[in-house]
């Protein structure tokens, strides 16, 4: 691509990085995103496994790493169906977990740790009382 003249910025060829190419890529991305959102509204239960896996992405990712570690190093001689097995297992496990137990286990753990950290670092009022909205602990 000739870059010695400003006219090259008017080109919209793929991966050129020009304004028109970027606008085209953003527009295409927005159309795909809108189509996916409409499909998710229309096919609510059909996309539930994807939503379940998306709601516990950390758990799915760590599970994938744990399985890979248990298999050893499958990079050299990995069976051709390994990726498909990971995807199907993640979708099935996430769907069952979400239906029965709600939030993913690692997401729940991370949320609990974050809540504890917030409680420990939250400033106390000068009179020693609990901040507004803090739950009372112990018996009443």
pLDDT for 80 equals: 76
- Cα 31 to Cα 28: distance, rounded to the nearest angstrom: 5
- From CA 53, how far away is CA 85, in angstroms rounded? 14
87 in a structural domain: yes
| Same-domain status, 80 and 104 | yes
Q: Per 3-state DSSP, what percentage of the chain is helix, strand, and coil (rounded to 5)?
A: 65, 0, 35
Residue 32 has pLDDT above 70, yes or no: yes
Does 32 share its domain with 65? no
pLDDT band at 132 (very low <50, low <70, confident <90, very high): low
Asked if 117 and 49 sit in the same domain, the reply is yes
55 and 114 assigned to the same domain: yes
In the three-class reduction of DSSP (H, G, I as helix; E, B as strand; rest coil), residue 92 is classed as helix
Same domain, 111 and 51: yes
Residues 35 and 67 in one domain: no
Mean pLDDT for the stretch of residues 75-97:
86
The count of domains in the chain is 2
pLDDT in tens, 71-81: 876 666 767 78
Distance between CA 131 and CA 51 in Å, rounded? 36
* pLDDT > 70 in the chain, percent: 84
Q: Which domain holds residue 101?
A: 45-122
């Amino acid at each position: 691509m000739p870059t010695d003249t400003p006219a090259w910025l008017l080109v919209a060829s793929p991966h050129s990085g020009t304004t028109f190419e970027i606008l085209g890529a953003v527009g295409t991305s927005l159309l795909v995103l809108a189509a996916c959102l409409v499909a998710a509204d229309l096919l609510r239960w059909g996309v539930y496994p994807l939503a379940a896996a998306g709601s516990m992405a950390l758990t799915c990712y760590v599970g994938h790493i744990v399985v890979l570690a248990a298999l050893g190093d499958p990079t050299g001689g990995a069976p051709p169906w390994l990726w498909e097995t990971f995807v199907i297992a993640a979708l099935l496990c996430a769907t069952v977990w979400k239906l029965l137990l709600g939030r993913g286990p690692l997401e729940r753990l991370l949320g609990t740790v974050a809540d504890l950290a917030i409680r420990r670092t939250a400033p106390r009022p000068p009179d020693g009382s609990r901040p507004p909205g803090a739950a009372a602990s112990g018996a009443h």
